[in-house]
């Protein structure tokens, strides 16, 4: 669940003559001081790289990288019946989510199309929801429309969000001496993948989950905007940690086989074709009751005409989003994400192709800049996940 720089400018609308000026994140000045190259993305100025995408990617795989993802929407859903209200919209088993546990889920429309992918955490009766930055205002409007009046939805717009990712993230973060916010809460090093807890760092409150979108061990840290620069300084002061831009975040998530909203996921894609049926819990598959269930449940039984697959591409030229995929001379799909894998030293891609061709080892070609690139269907992730379970 994450998004990255795209070429199309979607800030404007037909109601306005001029585009809105991009906003600055709380760490804007900090990024510039660190040498970040800033680009406009999702309505904000954000760092795409510091010393280079390749170097930042490999550093995160080997050590620990610090990402600013404060453009993403942090929401709080509370009130009696909040879990059941969320279940009317999300296909996950929210009511069974224990306190301190986190779950990946999907926001669907009436036709089963994916409006967004998101993370839900039970914070002990209230639910903390993180949505993608490019869709957060639409998500908030959608939730306000469908949630009952007695359910409160708060946008935590005075909070920043950092992601510390990599095999040395835990060592670096634990050195800051975080204290559990309440007796009996787990210590930082005791958190496992998809667990969350509140902490204090030098008297400052933090919401920490052991999660991320790189395929590595790591943490996502919700912190008050007024405290985020001090926390960022403390983290990059550790020898293992460097600031990392959105460019490397994109290549890391692609290697991890993680879909990107607005590219691999959209209202025109469904959970079955996208390979995200794990986000529909067993109970919800049996009972339904979520928006779009009457469309999605038959797809689970009957399948879909296309499937999201991983492709390894021969040669050095990377396949990019929008490139057509062929089986001999017949067009059978389209690339939705692609690039050169720094870890594997070869091009990789995700594509939606005809479902009957989705078996591992199927030989295909991609048309890119007038050239035909040979490729094969491979299982994802391209690089094994290293979550702390």
DSSP secondary structure of 184-200? TPPPGGG--TTBEEEEE
Question: Which residues does 209 contact at the CB level (< 8 Å), separation at least 6?
Answer: 102, 119, 121, 191, 194, 195, 196, 219, 220
- Looking at residue 18, its pLDDT comes to 45
Residue 13 scores a pLDDT above 80: no
Q: In what order do the strands lie in the sheet with 23-24?
A: 23-24, 44-49, 37-41
| DSSP assignment letter at 229 | H
pLDDT bracket for residue 20 (50, 70, 90) = confident
Tracing tokens 């690039």 back to the chain, one arrives at: 339
Residues 89, 164 contacting (CB under 8 angstroms): no
Percent of the chain, pLDDT > 90?
94
The CATH number of the domain covering residues in 23-69+158-255? 3.30.1360.120
Q: Is the pLDDT of residue 121 over 50?
A: yes
pLDDT tens digit string along 222-279? 999 999 999 999 999 999 999 999 999 999 999 999 999 999 999 999 999 999 999 9
Query: Can you give the pLDDT at residue 125?
Result: 81
Stretch 80-84: mean pLDDT, rounded?
Answer: 97
DSSP per position, 34-96: TT-EEEEETTEEEEEESS-HHHHHHHHHHSEEEEE-TTSEEEEEESTTHHHHHHTT-SS-GGG
Per-residue pLDDT, averaged over 277-282, amounts to 96
Query: How far is it, in rounded angstroms, from Cα 40 to Cα 18?
Result: 15
**What is d(CA 308, CA 275) in angstroms, rounded to the nearest whole number?**
6
pLDDT higher than 70, residue 6? no
Checking if the pLDDT of 94 tops 50, the result is yes
Bond prior to 381 in cis (omega within 30° of 0): yes
How do residues 362-380 score in pLDDT, each as one tens digit? 999 999 999 999 999 999 9
What residues are paired with 162 via a beta bridge?
68, 221
Contact indicator for 76, 120 with CB cutoff of 8 Å: no
Cα distance between residue 20 and residue 297, in whole Å: 40
Task: Convert the pLDDT of each residue in 191-218 to its tens digit.
Answer: 999 999 999 999 999 999 999 999 999 9
Whether pLDDT at 27 is above 50: yes
pLDDT at 227: 98
- What lies within 8 Å, CB to CB, of 309 at 6+ separation is 350, 351, 352, 353, 358, 377, 380
Query: Stretch 165-178: mean pLDDT, rounded?
Result: 98
Q: Rounded distance, CA 223 to CA 225, Å?
A: 6
Q: What is the pLDDT of residue 37?
A: 98
Residue 277 per-residue DSSP state = G
pLDDT exceeding 70 applies to what percent of the chain? 95
Nearest to 175 by CA among 244, 240, 243, 100: 240
Cα–Cα distance between 122 and 141 in angstroms, integer?
A: 22
What are the tens digits of pLDDT across the range 303-322?
999 999 999 999 999 999 99
Domain definitions of the chain by residue range: 23-69+158-255, 305-389
Q: Which of 290, 287, 339, 336 is nearest to 313 (CA)?
A: 339
Mean pLDDT, rounded, for 107-120: 98
Whether 195 and 100 have beta carbons less than 8 Å apart is answered as yes
Is residue 37 packed enough to be buried (19+ CB in 10 Å), middle (13-18) or exposed (0-12)? middle
**Torsions phi, psi for 64 (to 5 deg):** -155, 130
Confidence at 8, pLDDT banded by 50, 70, 90: very low
Per CATH, 23-69+158-255 and 305-389 having the same topology is answered no
Residue 175 has pLDDT above 70, yes or no: yes
pLDDT of 19? 60
Going by pLDDT thresholds of 50, 70 and 90, the confidence category of residue 325 is very high
pLDDT over 80 (residue 384): yes
Q: State the pairing for strand pair 23-24/44-49.
A: parallel
Confidence of residue 5 (pLDDT cuts 50, 70, 90): very low
CATH code, residues 305-389? 2.40.30.110
Cα(15)–Cα(241) distance, integer angstroms: 44
CA angle 204/208/210 to nearest 5° reads 155
Largest CA-CA distance found in the chain, in angstroms, rounded: 65
Tokens 């691999």 -> residue: 264
Question: Comparing C-alpha atoms, which of 39, 56, 46, 32 is closest to residue 242?
Answer: 56
Mean pLDDT of the chain: 94
pLDDT at residue 151 is higher than 60 = yes
Cβ(100)–Cβ(152) under 8 Å?
Answer: no
Residue 118 CA to residue 109 CA, distance in Å, equals 14
Flag whether pLDDT at 70 surpasses 60: yes
């Amino acid at each position: 669940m994450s998004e990255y720089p795209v070429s199309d400018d979607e800030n404007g609308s037909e109601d306005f003559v001029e585009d809105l000026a991009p906003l600055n994140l709380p760490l804007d000045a900090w990024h510039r001081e660190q040498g970040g190259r800033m680009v406009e993305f999702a309505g904000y100025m954000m760092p795409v790289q510091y010393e280079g995408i390749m170097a930042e990617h490999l550093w995160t795989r080997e050590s620990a990288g610090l990402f600013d993802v404060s453009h993403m929407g942090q929401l709080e859903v509370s009130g009696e019946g909040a879990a059941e209200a969320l279940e009317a919209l999300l296909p996950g088993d929210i009511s069974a989510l224990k306190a301190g546990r986190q779950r990946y889920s999907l926001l669907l429309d009436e036709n089963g199309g994916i409006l967004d992918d998101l993370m839900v955490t039970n914070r002990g009766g209230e639910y903390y929801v993180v949505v993608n930055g490019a869709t957060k205002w639409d998500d908030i409007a959608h939730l306000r429309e469908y949630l009952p009046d007695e359910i409160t939805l708060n946008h935590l717009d005075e909070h920043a969000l950092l992601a510390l990712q990599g095999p040395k993230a835990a060592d670096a973060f634990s050195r800051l001496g975080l204290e559990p916010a309440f007796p009996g809460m787990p210590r930082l090093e005791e958190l496992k993948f998809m667990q969350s807890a509140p902490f204090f760092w030098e008297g400052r409150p933090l919401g920490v989950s052991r999660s991320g979108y790189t395929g590595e061990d790591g943490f996502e840290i919700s912190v008050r905007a007024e405290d985020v620069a001090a926390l960022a300084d403390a983290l990059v002061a550790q020898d293992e940690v460097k600031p990392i831009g959105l460019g490397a975040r994109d290549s890391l998530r692609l290697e991890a086989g993680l879909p990107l909203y607005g590219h691999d996921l959209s209202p025109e894609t469904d959970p079955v074709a996208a390979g995200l049926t794990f986000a529909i819990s067993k109970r919800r598959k049996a009972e339904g009751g979520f928006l779009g269930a009457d469309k999605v449940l038959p797809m689970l039984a009957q399948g879909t005409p296309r499937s999201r697959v991983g492709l390894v591409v021969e040669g050095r030229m990377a396949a990019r989003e929008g490139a057509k995929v062929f089986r001999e001379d017949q067009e059978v799909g389209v690339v939705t994400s692609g690039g050169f894998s720094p870890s594997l030293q070869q091009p990789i891609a995700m594509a939606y192709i005809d479902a009957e061709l989705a078996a591992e080892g199927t030989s295909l070609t991609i048309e890119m800049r007038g050239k035909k690139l040979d490729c094969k269907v491979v299982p994802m992730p391209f690089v094994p996940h290293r979550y702390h379970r």
